[in-house]
Every structure is written in structure tokens, then in C-alpha cells.
Amino acid sequence: MESGDLLAERYRVLSLVGRGAMGVVWRARDERLDRVVAVKELLLDASADAERAAEATARAMREGRIAGRLEHPNAIAVYDVVEHDARPCLVMEYLRSQSLGAVIFERGALPPDEVAMIGVQLAGALSAAHAAGIVHRDVKPDNVLLTADGTAKITDFGVSRAAGDATVTATGFMAGTPAFLAPEVALGEEADTRSDVFSLGATLYAALEGTPPFGLDENAIAMLHTVAAGDVRPPRKAGPLAGLVMWLLRRDPAERPSMPGVHDALSAAVRGQPLPEYHPTPPTLVLPRRRGVSRRTVVAGVAATGLVAAGIALGLVLGNEPSTGATGTKPPAAGTTSTSPKPACVARFDITNSWQQGYQAEVTVRNDGPEQVTGWTVGWTMPDGHRLNNLWNGVASVKGSAVTVTNAGWNVTIPAGEETTFGLTVDTTNQVRDSPQLDCSGD
């Protein structure tokens, strides 16, 4: 294909937009409707015989029909599917934009509020796709288009597959970029809506941190092994979105939120509202006490069930169960606690995740007194070689090794017998993982 070609006696090719692994995108004019469109010319295997070429064309036509079922303001529309020189071409909405991948490459890590605005638009489009029985299968920054006014649209539903629809080709077809695949897909399982949730989480992680959750490796096989292990290091620059992103990246698909739940949570973040707390069951091993202080660490390895999303992740549950809200009534588990006589403020420090150069923790602040607590403070001393990296659900003050955390505006009140939590990540230069002794006070 080249500039000036006329496709299907209707689409006049104007200029080249870009090339990718699966196709070439052109800017063209629909001479019948007098509008500019994008034409994606799908690349076929040059060595394929006539039968395989026919299968690829049939697959492309089918994928075009699937994508054409979706109508959403944050999804690139597919208008038509045509053939040119025996190659299938998808005719799509043309959008003056830049890919999220290009933005990350130019700017590096993006601020959490900007990422939340992008994410809520993508989650809305993917929720609509899932409701229509469409699984994207290749959510990644390069498939997210951003306009100058902040609009985000997801594209390339041409590699998606309708949920439950039969595969056209008998030889198999792997869609998806390894760095953003869900672990179960990397292990050979069929992608579904939960896989899209993971890939969206990986995309948001890359936007927040400037790099994908599993890093980058030109060796696709090595990358697949890394992804299959599902070992994600918690984000350091995500701020209040850290817990949410880690929930999307749970290794077990059943433990991830639904896409509508993700959309609701990101909508709250965009409005500046606090994210309710989510309390996952951490895959931890309780070790023997040392020096009178209990300690926890994550069971590591390829067979691990994934890293734990501590802190604010969400009050949205998997499925349609109601949220537990910003406070809960679960009793604190065994761990380091401290009390103050008036009112009865009890603080507990649990290490919920650990890696070579740091760890993630959740601090539970519980009101064991008969009256409501309005305003609370928790303090402790950091061990040598430990440095607070990130904190959410509270306001931190650090003076040397002394850390003081006071309530955020939304969790200032703790009713009698209830609790709230805040989360943090810590950088370390040693392997000490003992929970510190806490001082807790409330008004």
C-alpha cells in the first residue's frame, strides 16, 4: 500500500502514520462521507500458504466485526473491514493523538492524578467491552491514545476475541505484549476479562513508575517466565493509587476486582474522594519471635500467589458484594501493638510484603475505648538503614529516624470498637524486618 491508493473504491490513502509488529497504520480519506479515517493494514506471514492466508484474512474479518460491536467515547471506533492486495484492512476512527507509551518515553513517570484521569477513561471503555462480551487481550501503553485535551482512548481491539467465541485458526495465535500480559496468559491459559484487569494494572503501573511491573527484556521467552512468576515489586511513586494498582496486579485472577469496580474506584480518585480500604488476606509466614517482637515476611518464589496490596487498595469486592467502607470491625491479628490510656488507641504494625531492598507494611489504628476518637497520631523509630519511601491514608512527618503519622482528613474519626489503616513502603540497606514498637494517641 502507498499514498494515493484507493481501497474498496472508497478510502483514499493519504500518508503513513506508523508501523507495528502486527500492521501498518495509514491516514486516509473516506471519499463517500468526506472524513479522515485511519486504515490499519494487517501484516500476513509472507511464507504462509494459501490456506493459512485465508485463515488469517477470516480471523481479521471476524476481529473487525467484534471490534465494530463496541461503541464508547473512550474506545477507537472500527468503521469497516476491507481487503486490499489480498490483505485485510481495518478502517477506524482517526484521532490526532500521542500514545501513552510515547508519553512515558518522553516524560518518564506521570503524577498519580494524571494517571487516575487516564485510567478511569480506559476502565470505562473496557467495562463496556466486557459487557459486550469482548476481551481486549492486549491492553498496554502503546494501545492507549492521548489527545491534547486529556482524552484517552483505547485502540487495537482488532486483536481481541469475543468471550466464548471459537478460534478461526487451527494453528493458534498469540495476541498480547509479554511485558503487560497477565501471569495466567503467560502460562498458556485463555485470556478473559480478569486478564484485561491485570493488563490495565500493568499499564497504570508503567505510567506511574516509568517502567512496566516486570521490567523490560528483549528476550520474549525470558519475559514470559518473569511474567508467569507474577512477582511484582510495589510501586514507589503511585501515592494513593499504590494499593489499587497492586490489587489489579494480584497473581490469582479470582482476587482481582471487576473492571466496573476499577472504574468506580478511579472515578472516586479523580473526584478527590478517599479510596475505601481493602483488606486482602496476605500470603505471609509468621516467623518465631525475635527480641520480643513478632515479624512477618512474604513467601517468595515462582509458586507464590503474588504480592499483597496493602493500605488503600479498595473497598470494592470481587463481584457485586458491598464495600466495607473506610473503617472495619475486624480484630487486629498478632503483631506489634501499643496502647495509650486516654482514649484507648491501639496501633499495630504488620509487614505485608518484602523484597531485597525494602518492604511494605500496613498499620492498623484501632479504638478500643468506649468513646469516639477524633484525631489520632502514631509514632515509631526507624531502625538503622531504613528510610520511609511512600505513605498513604495518613500524613507523615520524619525527623531523623523518628516517624510520626497523623490522620488524613477523611479518617480523622474512629468510632468506638472500630479501626482504620494506613500503608507505607520502606527502603532498606540491610535485611532487618522487625516490626517497630508503636506509640499511639488520640483525642
Q: What is the pLDDT of residue 277?
A: 53
Q: Which residues are tagged catalytic? A: 138
Sequence-ordered alpha helix ranges (H) in 26-111: 50-68, 100-107
Q: What is the pLDDT of residue 225?
A: 74
Are 275 and 240 contacting, i.e. CB atoms less than 8 angstroms apart?
Answer: yes
Query: Which of 123, 276, 319 is closest to 204 using CA atoms?
Result: 123
pTM more than 0.85: no
For residue 163 the three cell numbers come to: 468471550
Q: Could you read off the pLDDT tens digit of each residue along the chain, which spans 443 residues?
A: 888 889 889 999 999 988 766 678 899 999 999 999 999 887 766 555 677 777 777 777 777 777 788 889 999 988 888 888 877 888 999 999 999 999 999 999 999 999 999 999 999 999 999 988 888 888 999 999 999 999 999 988 755 443 333 333 333 334 446 888 888 888 888 888 999 999 999 999 999 999 988 877 666 677 777 777 777 888 888 888 988 998 899 888 988 889 998 999 999 889 887 765 544 444 333 333 333 333 333 333 323 333 333 333 333 333 333 333 333 333 333 345 444 444 578 999 988 777 777 888 889 999 988 888 888 999 999 998 898 887 877 888 899 899 999 987 667 888 888 888 888 888 888 878 888 999 998 88
Q: What is the pLDDT of residue 102?
A: 93
3-state secondary structure of 354: strand
Contacting residues for 57 by C-beta, under 8 A, at least 6 apart: 44, 83, 86, 87, 88
Q: Would you say the C-alpha torsion 221, 225, 230, 236 has a positive or negative sign? A: negative
3-state secondary structure of 182: coil
Q: What is the pLDDT of residue 210?
A: 93
3-state secondary structure of 41: strand
Q: What angle do CA 257, 260, 264 make, to 5 degrees?
A: 95
Domains within the chain, CATH numbers bracketed: 6-93 (3.30.200.20), 98-273 (1.10.510.10), 276-443 (2.60.40.290)
Q: What is the pLDDT of residue 303?
A: 33
For residue 150 the three cell numbers come to: 486529556
For residue 67 the three cell numbers come to: 471490534
What are the DSSP E strand ranges found in 144-280? 144-146, 152-154, 161-162
Are 425 and 324 contacting, i.e. CB atoms less than 8 angstroms apart?
Answer: no
Phi, psi of 194 (to 5 degrees): -70, -30
Helices 193-209/100-107 angle, 10° precision: 30
User: What is the 3 state secondary structure string of 100-162?
Assistant: HHHHHHHHCCCCHHHHHHHHHHHHHHHHHHHHCCEECCCCCHHHEEECCCCCEEECCHHHCEE
Give the distance from CA 259 to its chain's centroid.
11
Query: Which of 168, 4, 171 is closest to 84 using CA atoms?
Result: 4
Q: Hey, what amino acid is at 339? A: T
Distance between CA atoms of residues 63 and 113, nearest Å: 34
Q: What is the pLDDT of residue 229?
A: 74
Q: Hey, what amino acid is at 424? A: L
